[in-house]
Amino acid sequence: MADVVLFHHLRGVTDGLRGFAEQLRSGGHTVHTPDLFDGDRPATLDEGFALTKRIGSEVLRERADRAVAELPDGLVYAGFSWGAATAQRLAQTRPGARGALLYESCLPVTGEWAVGPWPAGVPVQIHGMDADPFFALEGDVEAARELVGIVGPDLGELFVYPGDQHLFTDSTLPSYDAEATALVLRRSREFLDRLR
């Protein structure tokens, strides 16, 4: 059984995110869903982005760090879009990561904008749509390909799905794609099962 911390996207901890977490739990895994927005549920991505500016990046970072401080060692860090950046930062900087599940976002691990090197031996699985204006058109898919190339085929997987939706795994949003989400969930559970 894996212990997962799943960070939300810019719309907050929606019922769709809770449902996704519940699907991971159905495989026998423990999934924590910290709320870095303290209950706020922005109605749009733009409102969510504005909320992050009002809260401030330092406060949000501290909230994320506090959220994982009391959790067991050996976490799998997971996140959707904006939350994937938090998950990736923690996977790369907090000792003892067991793995990372990055949904619809991936930050560079080399070059000027790099978060830092990827820790040796930590597996990663990345998911996104091939025409998502954020994932596919803002450099995330290239960063994902680079990361998978660095960790190698035994530890890294990138799955790209046909479509142009962002937040396609959240069943409470108009962008939801049930068929693609079913594949994401199956592959995510297989990833977690390999960590047992």
pLDDT category at 75 given cuts 50, 70, 90 is very high
| Cα 143 to Cα 3: distance, rounded to the nearest angstrom | 26
- For 77-126, the pLDDT digits (tens) are 999 999 999 999 999 999 999 999 999 999 999 887 787 789 999 999 99
| Whole-prediction pTM | 0.96
Question: How many C-beta neighbours within 10 Å does residue 158 have?
Answer: 18
Question: How many C-beta neighbours within 10 Å does residue 43 have?
Answer: 9
Asked if residues 108 and 136 have their Cβ atoms less than 8 Å apart, the reply is no
Q: What domains lie within the chain, and their CATH numbers?
A: 3-194 (3.40.50.1820)
Residue 168 has a pLDDT of: 98
pLDDT at 196 over 80: no
- For 17-41, the pLDDT digits (tens) are 999 999 999 999 999 999 999 999 9
Asked if residues 134 and 81 have their Cβ atoms less than 8 Å apart, the reply is yes
